[in-house]
Amino acid sequence: MAYQVLARKWRPQNFGQMVGQQHVLRALLTALQENRLHHAYLFTGTRGVGKTTIARIFARCLNCETGVTPEPCGVCRSCTEIAEGRHLDLIEVDAASRTRVEDTRDLLDNVQYAPTRGRYKIYLIDEVHMLSGHSFNALLKTLEEPPPHVKFLFATTDPQKLPVTILSRCLQFNLKSMPVDMIRAHLAHILTAESIEHEAGALRIIARAADGSMRDALSLTDQAIITGAGQVTDAAVQDMLGMLPDGYLMTLLQALLAADAPRLLAVIGQMAELAADFAVAVESLIALLHRIMVLQVLGAADDGQDLQQLAAAITPADLQLYYQLALHGRRDFALHPDPRTGFEMLMLRMLAFQVQSPGPATFPKKKTLTPPLAAPTDSVAGAAIPTVALPPERESSSPADQPATVAVVQTVESLDLDVTAAPEVPEPVPAQEFPPPSRAVGPAPVETAPGPAERAAAVPVSPALPVPVMPVSGAQPADNAWHALLPALGLGGMALQLAGHCLLKQHTESEILLWLDRSGENLQSGNALAQLQAALERHFGQAVSLTLELTDLTEETPEQRRLRLQRERQLQAEAAIQADDFVRQLQNTLGASIVPGSIRPRNSD
């Protein structure tokens, strides 16, 4: 007798022999037991998951001579002929070869005639999505109201291509891809029944390569039997699929654990002598790392001693890092000058970045920013974050003027540094004297940022605050009172911009005189002035007359102060990153660079 391939020899003949797809089988068995039979069934799913097989078994259940039953006898004339594909009332059609509308019309011409031998005339149309639009239109009426002796069984791998009018007339069952463990267990059962020696690792590789298809797994098993001279071994399957033997990859991981770079490169050289496909080697390494992760979490009885030793020796942190680096290495593999260089750089990158394994090429897992000067810490989300001092030329003499906090985020995928710093918004206490500005030229005074309590005290709790009547004098104060008054006015838009270019010159009971710097001359508008005057009247609780005097100011306006503090925060954040030891280590070791413009103070404008 001619050899019969495993996929055909072990094709299930009843629902009890089916592997998986229990959600579909339960529905069909219930329909058969309670005689609730629909006239059209659609089975969808990827290749090799049992669509056509379930349709044929269902046809046997419908036409078995013992009656409509969920368990066909398998020995009667109808069951035998359906199994052999020669039953007159089972019209099995490959839609890919009969796409024309004329073929569909010819097929449906005999629908009205009663079945020749069976109980039902069954139309099994495989790959039904290949029919043309006109063929679907010709099928619609018959599909919706067929004669009682007709059943339609459709199978397709692409249900999205079917018209909604067809889908709405069918009971649709979606078959799932087969899990790896289910495929491996079924292959072991078949090979044991066939008296073929096999190794558990080889069956795992075949099950993974089948990608959810039982038919593909059986075809690969047939090929593996031939390759292994009647046996299914790990070496034969790996050679058949072009995979690298696990021994090389395990040796590479052992060299990583020992931080032995010469041994690492020597093993890669041996792989090159075998003409190994390094792109496939990366995928094999990813699969091996996954097996070790699963072994660490769950354990497995059929894993070898070497694999168990690796699972005990590699820390979970290193293992996760290796897996992530391998994924990124596979993504960027085509960018390397040659495959061997790409694989070598991947392994050396793993050696450089391992976080807990011993060895000279170990980077710290976490870097804590240490301030060059003692400074109070702030708390964000429950974690204390140290502050970083400004460069000497910008330091303030006041402890309250310590710089904002800085945080560094470093990722393996990209060496771009995302740096943020929390700003401090200075709000000095309102001054009590308002002499006019002098024309003395000199540097602006250094700001002292108040603490939270001081800022709370600086905000007025009543709109009517006593402001003394100030005479005009020739000396300008160190800090104009307008800086403290402006935040309490609650301005926005153009009115806020106009007020930001002003300073207070004189304030009496009913008059307020402001200097307006010439840089804000174009901000004057009737609406802005009206909003500013209204805000002042609300604040002081009385009507006031507002006057603006255009002049060249030498003292810092609120807008200039805001810009200066923003520049200082930016310089502070950049200086903190440039001085960080971890950032310098990344630059010196990996050639990393800080992307220009990527450093931003936290909550910056």
Confidence of residue 223 (pLDDT cuts 50, 70, 90): very high
> Could you tell me which residues come within 8 angstroms of residue 232 by beta carbon, excluding any fewer than 6 positions away?
191, 196, 197, 198, 199, 202, 203, 206, 221, 224, 225
Among 21-35, 84-98, 443-457, 588-602, whose mean pLDDT is lowest?
443-457
Residues facing 405 on adjacent strands? 387
Domain 6-174 has CATH 3.10.20.30: no
Report the pLDDT averaged over residues 582-587: 87
Q: What is the mean pLDDT of the chain?
A: 78
DSSP letter string, 486-553: GGGG---HHHHHHHHTEEEEEE-SSEEEEEEEGGGGGG--HHHHHHHHHHHHHHHTS--EEEEEEE--
The residue among 209, 267, 275, 270 whose CA lies nearest residue 238 is 209
pLDDT at 390: 37
Q: CATH says 182-353 is which class? A: mainly alpha
Closest CA to 203 of 191, 194, 195, 215: 191
- Paired residues of 504 in beta bridges: 514
Residues 194-209: tens digit of each pLDDT: 999 998 888 988 998 8
List beta partners, residue 383: 380
Helix (H) or strand (E) holding 39: none
What pLDDT band is residue 435 in, cutting at 50, 70 and 90? very low
Q: For residue 436, which of 348, 334, 342, 513 has the smallest C-alpha distance?
A: 513
| 581: DSSP letter | H
Backbone angles phi, psi at 91, to 5 degrees: -95, 100
State the burial class of residue 120 (Cβ atoms within 10 Å of its Cβ: 0-12, 13-18, 19+): buried
Output 145 or 395, whichever has higher pLDDT.
Answer: 145
| Nearest residue to 447 (alpha-carbon basis) of 463, 429, 435 | 429
Q: Out of 97-101, 417-421, 547-551, which region has the weakest mean confidence (pLDDT)?
A: 417-421
Please answer whether residues 290 and 303 qualify as being in contact, where contact means their C-beta atoms are separated by less than 8 angstroms: no
Q: What residues does each domain of the chain span?
A: 6-174, 182-353
281-294 confidence digits (pLDDT tens): 898 889 889 888 88
What share of the chain in percent tops pLDDT 90?
20
pTM more than 0.85: no
Cα angle at 367 between 364 and 370, to 5 degrees? 135
| Distance of alpha carbon 508 from alpha carbon 544, whole angstroms | 9
Q: Which two tokens stand for residue 560?
A: 């200039």
Say whether pLDDT at 433 is over 80.
no
CB-count exposure of residue 110 (10 Å: 0-12, 13-18, 19+) = exposed
Residue 2 pLDDT: 72
Distance, in Å, from the CA atom of 583 to the CA atom of 568, rounded to the nearest integer, reads 21
Question: With 0-12 CB in 10 A as exposed, 13-18 as middle and 19+ as buried, what is 571?
Answer: middle
